[in-house]
A and B are shown apart, each in its own frame.
Chain A
Amino acid sequence: MKRTILISALATIIVSSILFNSCSVSKKMADKSGAQLWAENCARCHNAPPPGEFNNDNWEIVGRHMQVRANMTQKDMDKIIAFLKSANN
C-alpha cells in the first residue's frame, strides 16, 4: 500500500513538474484554429457535432466533459468551444 502510494505520488510529481515546466507547442500547433481543432479532435472517436447542436452554455459544459474524456488541453478546448459558440451568435 505504502509502496503504491509512494510510486503514485512520485509519478504524479514528475508528471506535474513536466506539465508545469516543459510544455512546448510548435507554432504549427499553436496557430491551429478552433474549427481545425474541432474537426481533428472530435473525429478521433466520433463524428464531429455540428456547431448549431447546443446553445452556448451547453457547449461550455460539453467542452469540459470532452476535455476530461479525450485528454484535451484546456487551450485547445477553449478554442473549440469559442468556435462552436460563434455559430450561435
Chain B
Amino acid sequence: MGVGKLYPHSFKKQKMNKIKGFLVILPFIATMSALHAQTKDTSSSSGKNKFVVLGNAEATYTASKGESSFGDINFKPIFLWKISDKLFVEAEAEIETGDGEVNLGLEYANMCYMVNPYLILHAGRFLPKFGAYRGRMGEAFINRFAGMPTGFGDGGIGAMNETGVGAEGGLPLGNIKIDYDLYISNGPQLLTDAENAGQFEYEAYTSNNKFSAIGGRVAILPFSNSSLEVGYSFQSKSKTGETGTSFQNVGVLMQAVDLNYFHNIPGIKSTVRFIGELKHQKVDNAIYQDADGNNLTFNNSPTSYYASATIRPSLVENKFVRNLEIAGRYSYFNKPTDAPWGGSNITQYEMALDYWLNWNCLVKFCYLKQKHESLIFNTQFVFGF
C-alpha cells in the first residue's frame, strides 16, 4: 500500500509542495541557463528593443539554541527591457518560501523615460529611495549579513514599495555630484487592528483613500571619486487612514539620513566600507482599540538605525584571502512603549565572515546577538545581480 493511500491528505500536500518547489526552481534554472548562454555571446544586435532576465537567489541555514533548519528560499527574477534609447522598463518578481507555502509578489514594475542626461521620469510600482538600505544596501548580494538590521525589515518602519510617478537623476556640479529623487505615490496605509494599531502597510498594491504621499531623497557625493555619499530622505502623507473611518486624518512624516563611504587603503591592502542609516517617523495621535475593546493611545514616533563596517583584503595577491571579508553591524529599534507592536526596544549586534565566490555571489557566516535572546548562527548563500 502506498504512502498516498495511507495518508492521502499528507501525500497530496507533499506532491503539491514538490510541484511548488519545482515551479520555484524552474525559472531559476532557466534564468541561469539563459544568463550563461548570454555571457558567451559577444555580438551586438542592430535593433534598439532589447530584453534580458537577470535576478537574485538566496538560501539560508539558521541555527540557534535547540533549533536549526534551512530557512526560506528566495528567488527574484529581474526583467529589464530597453525599448529605445529613451524608454526603459524594469520589473522584479519575488518568489519565496515562507510559512510552508510559496509566496509570489511584485517587487516593482517601473517604466522610465529618459528626458535628458540628468532627468528620468518614471511611473508604476517602484522602490522609493527612502534611505539607502531598501533597494540598494539591503539587496542580498550587497548586504554582508544574512538578515536585515532591526527595524529595517518586516515589522520595521519606513517606506518600502510605492505606486505612483516620480522624477530622478544625478546632477554634476563642479567636482561634486547631487543625486535626487522626487515622487508622488499612494503612500503607506495606517493599520488599526488591535495587533498592529499605529503600524503601516508599506507595500500595498492599491490605495485605501484618495490622498497621496509625497517623498524624495537628496544625496551629495562631495568627493570627485564618489567614495562618500550622504543622503536625506522624507515621505509625507497627511491622511493615511481608510476613507470614512475616524482614522482617515491620521498623517505621517517619515525621515531618514544615510551615509556610505568606502576606501581602498594600500597600506593594509584592503578596502574598508562604512554604512549607516537612521530612520524616524512621526505619526499623528489617534485613539485605537486594544484586543479587549479598550481605548488605546500612545506617542507613535519610532526610530531605527544601524551602523556597519567591513574590511576586505582586496589588494592582496592571494586569491583566497582577497575574497574574504569581515563585517560588523550594530542596529537599534526604538518602538513606542505602549503600542501593541511596541514594548521593549531591540538592540542587535552582528558579526559576519563572508567569502566571495564571484563578484556577485557570496557565502555568509553570521552570528547575531540580540539583547536578552540567545545567539543565532546564520549561513547564507546568495547569487545576485
Contacts and interface: CB of A to CB of B under 8 A. Distances in A.
Nearest to A48: B359
Nearest to A37: B226
Contact of B172 (A24, A44, A60, A85): A24
Interface in A1-52: 1, 4-5, 7-8, 11-12, 15-16, 18-20, 22-26, 28-29, 40-41, 43-50, 52
B360 A46 contact: yes
A66 B116 CA distance: 16
Interface stretch (B36-44, B62-70, B146-154): B36-44
Interface string B179-211: 111101000000000000000000000000011
B80 A62 contact: yes
Contacts of A45: 136-137, 142, 260
Interface of B is mostly: strand
Contact of A19 (B54, B119, B122, B137): B119
A64 B88 contact: yes
Contacts of A24: 172-174
17 contacts: A4-B184, A4-B238, A5-B184, A12-B182, A16-B167, A19-B169, A46-B139, A47-B360, A50-B359, A56-B42, A56-B44, A61-B50, A62-B80, A64-B82, A65-B78, A65-B90, A71-B168
Closest 8 CB pairs of A and B: A56-B44, A71-B179, A74-B117, A88-B42, A47-B359, A71-B170, A19-B118, A25-B172
Interface of A: 1, 4-5, 7-8, 11-12, 15-16, 18-20, 22-26, 28-29, 40-41, 43-50, 52-58, 60-62, 64-65, 67-69, 71-76, 85, 88-89
